[in-house]
Amino acid sequence: MGDVDPETLLEWLSMGQGDERDMQLIALEQLCMLLLMSDNVDRCFESCPPRTFLPALCKIFLDDLAPENVLEVTARAITYYLDVSAECTRRIVAIDGAIKAICNRLVVADLSSRTSRDLAEQCIKVLELICTREAGAVFDGGGLNCVLTFIRDCGSQVHKDTLHSAMAVVSRLCTKVEPNAPCIQNCVESLSTLLQHEDPMVADGALKCFASVADRYTRKWVDPAPLAEYGLVEELLKRLGNAAGPINNTTTTTAASPGATTGASTSTTSTGSVSNNDSISSVTATTATQNKPTATSDPSRTSQSISTTISLLSTLCRGSPLITHDLLRSQLPDAIERALKGDERCVLDCMRLADLLLLLLFEGRQALNRVGAAGGAQGQLAARVRRNDSSAERTHRQLIDCIRSKDTEALQEAIESGGIDVNCMDDVGQTLLNWASAFGTLEMVEYLCEKGADVNKGQRSSSLHYAACFGRPSIAKVLLKYGAYPDLRDEDGKTPLDKARERADDGHREVAAILQSPGEWMAAGNLAANKDGADDNGTLEPRGDPEMAPIYLKLFLPVFCRTFQGTMLASVRRASLGLIKKMVQYAQSGVLKGLCEPQLQLETTLVTSTNAQNLGTLLVEVVASVLDNEDDDDGHLVVLTIIEELMSKTQDEFLDHFARLGVFSKVQALMEPENEVNDATTTVHVGANAITATTVEDQLNQSSSNGITSSTQQTTTATDPMEDAKEILQGKAYHWHEWSICRGRDCLYVWSDSAAL
């Protein structure tokens, strides 16, 4: 091999007529052996440099008369070059038409021929290696449709590793698809077919591709309804229903879609009441007769696959009113209930989906950040800083330095005085908001958002990804308020929640908790927008989905109450309790009263005592359970809010439940009264130099005073006008001017009419 002359090899590679084909084939085989057997890559590249040999190899693919056996060895030689150095990719891309010629070989491949099949498999390997660096070039060369068609029509005739490599190519190319691309319909149809593929890796790969394409629709603010033309939603519901394992029913009873009257009902009552009650009855009856998930699990039902399924459902609901309308009237509640029997991550992901559904049902689509829509549309037009524009690049670098040094004033001054586009990207596609979310201050992020920065923009990741990656909860809240999409995916196909879960420190856990129920912060942003620019028709148009909202409330409330009672996982209990609180806040008094009424079960043989349990009792049992945990201060705050909502909406119905389960005494125990001798209520004032306690009467007498009164006298009774406090005691209320202060077990709460810390 050492006697081979590189110049002779290069000359022979250029031959291609008649008997010269044999010499060309010999040269290709020799080149492959040199690349494969060389023990010194640098020396090999010196003798056979890519800058001269790769163009010669690409020209062979451009030769329409080249036989398949020659092309197969040529593809192998290109693969060896790419294996040694990924830098070779750009040399191949630089040859006009080379990528397209390689892709076209997949279209004309005859897999009944061994040589043709080997050529097709080798072309797939070449495309896979090129896609690691230049996926855009492969997409522009028509690679997506070529590879998808190859998988769909010929996937069963090639080796497994080739099939998986082909799906890896498709996964990367789907990140380049635009909603208006000519290939989009064929892409959606092929991917929908591949969702049913017998190979789990291919089916899961198709699912990830749909997630990437849906992400592209979301970034462009385009309705993703075309993605569901070939049965995507039905497949997602099936996967969601099987997330916890195959479930065997011991009865033929099937759960009806929400809002549909079940066939078992023979009552002559009004349609509305029958519809709602029967929906609950069908769900509870089905739950009673479901067995535990079987031990044998489908290998495709991985944790990541389930997470992708739920995330894709969320993305479709956020982007498409039509998909949301149809999905809410499908078997979605039954699928969610089954999935809640899965592992911790599956349950938490289901609760994120439920949180979004509640937001859409009760707040409506306007709650999905009207704030971000306007900024997002203009943000897509912002240009990237070009390398040859030295002045703009230097200014951009100075702004980044301000962000990294946390100099908020300098950043604001530079933007105000320089007329800089806040959506401008640097040479690697990162915006100023991306940088601020990772390294800047909260004030920087708020300032950029107010200036119209697109919170969802970023070539590699969105700003919410950076906040999640660096564990910055306060910034994550601001980004959600200004319209950040919590289900966007980065270049690796990960959501912000996926990034937050990668580390276990306090900051990342807080971000994960925020992203677990992002609707709360998104709704807050929408409320702020309504205050600034009031909705003229807000009092006339019903928000959300008035038809389905009460039905889902009756379906979800008992499900999540039982989920809370049936788990010991703190994360699941916390998330389910948050959803229960949200549903109680959304519920109208008539719906809550209906929950306290005995549920009429027609098929009594299928209903256990647990299922027949009054849902009002079930809700109060959850409240009592949380109050029994003395160390759960956050849980206490949530259930106190629930109690307040219940008492203000349905006082008479829940009083009996509270009394029977001892809720009154539990709430009273939280007050921790220390002064049992007299009934005087004490309030503690926090001053600049002293903390003084006064009775209510003294407080009223001193309310007109502007000064702060201090006393050195030791007081022992509550009737003394004031006493100096040396520390802020746990469980006592304090205030200083307009601020209220209370110390809990683990933290200090400070709040006023306008802010809370």
Range(s) for CATH 1.25.10.10 in the chain?
6-230
What 3 state SS string does 707-735 have?
CCCCCCCCCCCCCCCCEEECCCCECCEEE
Residues 336 and 310 sit within 8 Å (Cβ to Cβ): no
For residue 266, which phi and psi values (nearest 5 degrees)? -120, 10
pLDDT recorded at residue 725: 56
**C-alpha to C-alpha distances, 566 to 21, 503, 589, 630, nearest whole angstrom:** 73, 27, 27, 20
- Check residue 434 and give its pLDDT: 93
CATH annotation of 370-509: 1.25.40.20
Contact 652, 685 (CB under 8 A): no
Q: Are 711 and 692 in contact (CB under 8 A)?
A: yes
Residues of the chain with CATH 1.25.40.20: 370-509
Backbone angles phi, psi at 656, to 5 degrees: -65, -40
Distances (CA, A) of 162 to 113, 134, 192: 16, 20, 20
What is the distance between the alpha carbons of residues 375 and 483, in angstroms, rounded to a whole number? 9
Note the pLDDT of residue 246: 64
* Pair 210, 216: CB distance under 8 Å: no
Structure tokens at 468: 């999640």
- For domain 273-288+300-364+544-667, give the CATH number: 1.25.10
What per-residue confidence (pLDDT) applies to 120? 94
Residue 8 CB neighbour total at 10 angstroms: 12
CA-wise closest residue to 336 among 318, 356, 354, 361? 354
Tell me the average confidence (pLDDT) per consecutive run of 10 residues in the chain, 757 residues long.
69 73 86 80 80 90 89 93 87 92 92 92 95 92 93 90 94 92 92 92 93 90 93 94 66 47 36 37 39 40 84 92 94 93 91 92 78 40 44 78 90 82 83 92 92 87 93 93 87 87 90 85 55 43 81 92 92 92 89 69 38 71 88 87 88 78 81 48 42 40 39 39 62 73 79 73
Q: Which of these, 566, 251, 495, lies nearest to 349 by C-alpha position?
A: 495
- 751 forms beta bridges with 740, 756
Mapped onto helix, strand or coil, the DSSP state of residue 298 is: coil
- Assign 3-state DSSP to the chain and report helix, strand, coil percentages, each to 5: 60, 5, 35
pLDDT at 519: 75
CATH number of 6-230: 1.25.10.10
Distance CA 524, CA 480 (A): 9
Q: How much is the pLDDT for 472?
A: 94
How many helices and strands in the chain, by DSSP H and E? Answer: 36, 6
Which residues have a Cβ under 8 Å from the Cβ of 440 and sit 6 or more positions away?
Answer: 403, 404, 406, 408, 411
- Return the amino acid letter for 615: L
Residue 186: how many other CB atoms lie within 10 Å: 14
What's the start-to-end Cα distance of the chain, in Å?
Answer: 74
Give, to the nearest 10 degrees, the angle between helix 344-358 and helix 506-516.
Answer: 50
Give the dihedral sign, CA 664/669/670/672.
Answer: positive
Supply the pLDDT for residue 685. 44
d(CA 506, CA 302): 27
